[in-house]
Structure 1
Amino acid sequence: MKKIVVKFGGSNLRRPEDIDRVVNVVQTYQRPLVLVVSAFFGITNALVACVQAAKEGAGKLSALAESRDYTLTLRALKKEILDANIADLRQRASTEAALNARLDQLERFLTGIHYIGDVPDFVNDVILSYGERLSSLLLTAVLQSRGIAAREALPEDIGLFTDGVFGNAACDFEASAAQVSAALAGDGIVVVPGFYGVSRDGKTTLFGRGGSDYSAASIARCIGAESLDVWKDVDGFLSADPGAVEAPHSIARLHYLEAAELSYFGAKILHPRTVEPLFDQAIPIRILNITRPDLGLHAFTVIDGERTVTHDVVKSVSSTDDVAILKLHGPGVGFKPGILAEVTSTLDRNGINIKSVLTAQTAINVLLSREHLDAAYEALATHHMAGVVEVSRNDAVAIVAVVGDGVLDASNVGSAIASRALSAALAGGVRVTMSAAGASEVAAYMLVDRQDRRLALSLIHAEFFNAK
């Protein structure tokens, strides 16, 4: 029997009592599983802040004390979770000792940053992985305390190898598949911490922020899983953000490409790279809601390779304000050979990812994550390029995208989708900076003034869904 890979994210792990819901879900399956877990909600962000504080406060006793205070806070939190979920005093004590041993390791890394005043990439990645390492150890112990046969399996022990890129690694499936499959075979429950793998030389490498989804998908591919089940606290993918529109509906089925684009353009259900390992493997992704125990294993959204063009084409409207525009001005920048290659090479050397590029005769517009805008501006403004007379930046924008198979299909109603979305936004007073279609066969998007993002989302959603 093929195993199911089950992913529990930080949204499932906010409070000590949430562990009980996770255990109930595991019991509902009544079959061997591979569980992939994220850090408890907020832990990774706190570790990021802790690393930065340790680096900035190098040599200061106050900064060292702050790092130790944080590990003390973590010890108290984990003890609270243990007390709420493990009744047997002996098992509780042994689990607490194991958790404290890992927290001792974390504290030594933070102390090392304090003394050297720097954070090498490999140290940063291993520190940020500790949220998941603590979750997997703790959940394994709780499952065992409930009489469930469970064991923990760390990525470094099962051979989940990566390409060795720190901070944003990719799984090396050729090196990993056989070892991971063998290590996770057998009955019972296997609990794996998400978010990281290991390079060929054994160093921890992260799969990027939110990368536990990618971890789970990579493991599902390695073992040829029956499905990847992702448990959330919402009813799957929706037609829009419920905080921005009234009564969005659940989407029962999506193609891998549609799910990837929705995630890329701001939907918080999956990490954008989750479908990447499964795209050619015919392994479906099922989105379930942990707050609806009455529905058992009902999947609100199933993501697979089946392409379906609905009558109204658009399946969801998504948005994000994690975008900024870096603009290169010059009377001939769109025509002069080599400028775009020089721009992309310069940004790549500085570790800056490009979301999209839109060109004209007098300007090149580079879309980036907002957090990379200042670094990108400094890299290009100080790098002389023939034909570029000015470099400007704008972070007061947001993306709104319509997603659905057939959006760019000229043979049917899809050919009018992008113009309908743009017209609806403009008619409602939305300030549109630019509009684009063609980069993806299932999505079209526009950049709007950031203050108009919710308005644009509401207007475009109404255009395509109110009639339904």
Structure 2
Amino acid sequence: MKKIVVKFGGSNLRQPQDIDRVVNVVQAYQRPLVLVVSAFYGITNALIACVQAAREGAGTKAALAESQNYTQTLRALKKQILEANISDPEHRARTEQALGARLDQLDRYLTGIHCIGDVPTFVNDAILSYGERLSSLLLTEVLLSRGIAAREALPEDIGLITDGVFGNSACDFAASTASVSAALADDVVFVVPGFYGIDAQGKTTLFGRGGSDYSAASIAACISAESLDVWKDVDGFLSADPGAVSAPRSISQLNYLEAAELSYFGAKILHPRTVEPLFDRDIPIRILNITQPERGLQPYTIIDAQRHVTRDVVKSVSSTDDVAILKLHGPGVGFKAGILAQVTNTLDQHGINIKSVLTAQTAINILLARDHLDAAYAALSEHHLAGVVNVSCDDAVAIVAVVGDGVLDASDVGSAIASRALSAALAGGVRVRLAAAGASEVAAYMLVQQEDRKLALRLVHEEFFGK
């Protein structure tokens, strides 16, 4: 029997009592599973802040004390979770000792930063993986305490090999599939910490922020899973952000492309790369809500390879303000050969990802993540590209996208979608900076002033779904 890979995110792990919900879900399956877990809510952010503080205050007693205080806080939190979830004193003591050993390792990494006055990339990735390492150990022991046959399976033990890119790695399936499949073959519940794998030399490499979804998808691909079940605290994918529109509709089915574009354009349900390992393997992703136990194992949204154009075409309207524009000005930048290649090479050398590029005769507009803007501006300003007379940047923008199979269809219905979205936004007073269609088969988007994002989202949603 094929196994199901089940993913629990940080939103499922906020309070000590949330562990009970997770255990109840595991029991409901009544079969061996592979669980992939994130860090408890807020832990990764705190580790990032801890590393940053250590980097800025390297060598100072105050910074070292701050790091030690944080690990002590983690010890207290994990002890609180243990007391709430493991009743047997001896089992609780053994688990506390095992968690303590892992926290001692984290302490050593943080102390090392102060000793060398720097944070090497491999050390940064190792430190940030500890939120997941603590979650997997803790959940395994809780499951065992409830009579469930469970076993922790660390990526380094099962051979989840990556391409070795620190901070944003990808799974090396040729190197991983056989070992991961063999390591997870027994009829027990395996608990795997998400977010990281190891490179060919055994060093920890992260799958990028929010990468536990990608971890789970990669493992599902390696073992040819029956499905990837992602447990959230919301009703699957919706027609829009419920914080911006009233009564958005639930979406029962999406294809891989639609889900990827929605995630890319701001939907928080999945990491944008989650569908990547599953795309050619026909493994469905099922989105379930852990706060709705009465639904049992019935998903709100199923994501698979089936492509279906609905009557209204648009399935969801998504938005994000994690975007900025870097603009290269010059009277012939759109005509001069080689400029775009120089730009992409320069940004790649600085580890900067390009979201999109829109060109004209006198300008090249490059869309980037907001936190990459300063580094990209500095890199291109220093490069002195021939034909570029000025480089400017703007982070007061946001993206609003319409997503659905058929958005770019040549039929009258499909060809009108992008113009309907743009017209609805403009008619409502939204300041549209740029609009684009054609890059994706299932999405079209517009760039608007950041303060107009929610207005644009509401107006476009009303255009396709009504008030």
Q: Please say whether Structure 1 and Structure 2 have the same fold, judged by a TM-score greater than 0.5.
A: yes
2:391 match: 391
**Distance apart, 1:382 and its partner CA:** 1.4
The Cα offsets for residues 379-409 of structure 1, whole Å up to 9 and x where unpaired, read as: 1111111110000000000000000000000
Q: How does 1:171-182 map to 2 (within 5 A)?
A: 171-182=171-182
| Secondary structure of 2:436 counterpart | strand
Q: How does 1:131-210 map to 2 (within 5 A)?
A: 131-210=131-210
2:101 match: 101
1:222 match: 222
Paired letter, 2:160 = L
The Cα offsets for residues 35-61 of structure 1, whole Å up to 9 and x where unpaired, read as: 000000000010000001001101110
Q: Does 1:301 align with 2:301?
A: yes
| Secondary structure of 1:327 counterpart | strand
Distance 1:186 1:103 in 2: 29
Distance 1:447 1:162 in 2: 35
Q: Does 1:90 align with 2:126?
A: no
Paired letter, 1:364 = I
Structure 1: 5+ residue stretches without partners: none
Q: How many residues align?
A: 467
Give percent identity, aligned residues only: 81
**Distance apart, 1:228 and its partner CA:** 0.1
Paired letter, 1:316 = S
Distance 2:457 2:273 in 1: 24
Q: Does 1:36 align with 2:46?
A: no
Distance 1:412 1:172 in 2: 43
Q: Does 1:429 align with 2:429?
A: yes
Distance 1:311 1:279 in 2: 25
Q: How does 1:286-435 map to 2 (within 5 A)?
A: 286-435=286-435
| Secondary structure of 1:382 counterpart | helix
1:265 match: 265
Distance 1:361 1:380 in 2: 19
Distance 1:249 1:26 in 2: 28
| Secondary structure of 2:190 counterpart | strand
Distance 2:321 2:72 in 1: 35
Paired letter, 1:389 = V
| Secondary structure of 1:317 counterpart | strand
Distance 2:43 2:300 in 1: 28
**Distance apart, 1:411 and its partner CA:** 2.1
| Secondary structure of 2:318 counterpart | strand
Paired letter, 1:34 = V
Q: How does 1:6-155 map to 2 (within 5 A)?
A: 6-155=6-155
| Secondary structure of 1:24 counterpart | helix
Runs of 4 or more consecutive aligned structure 1 residues displaced over 4 Å after TM superposition: none
Distance 1:226 1:349 in 2: 39
Distance 1:386 1:346 in 2: 14
Distance 1:54 1:388 in 2: 39
1:282 match: 282
2:238 match: 238
**Distance apart, 1:186 and its partner CA:** 1.4
| Secondary structure of 1:72 counterpart | helix
Q: TM-score, normalising length from structure 2?
A: 1.00
Distance 1:19 1:301 in 2: 24
The Cα offsets for residues 395-434 of structure 1, whole Å up to 9 and x where unpaired, read as: 0000000000000001240110000000000000000000
| Secondary structure of 1:257 counterpart | helix
| Secondary structure of 2:383 counterpart | coil
| Secondary structure of 2:317 counterpart | strand
| Secondary structure of 1:407 counterpart | coil
| Secondary structure of 1:440 counterpart | coil
Paired letter, 1:370 = R
Distance 1:6 1:206 in 2: 20
Distance 2:82 2:228 in 1: 28
| Secondary structure of 1:192 counterpart | strand
Paired letter, 1:215 = S
Q: TM-score, normalising length from structure 1?
A: 0.99
Distance 1:102 1:296 in 2: 35
Paired letter, 1:81 = I
1:456 match: 456
Distance 1:303 1:157 in 2: 30
Distance 2:121 2:400 in 1: 34
Distance 1:311 1:400 in 2: 22
| Secondary structure of 2:385 counterpart | coil
| Secondary structure of 2:438 counterpart | strand
Distance 2:116 2:265 in 1: 39
Distance 1:32 1:386 in 2: 61
2:212 match: 212
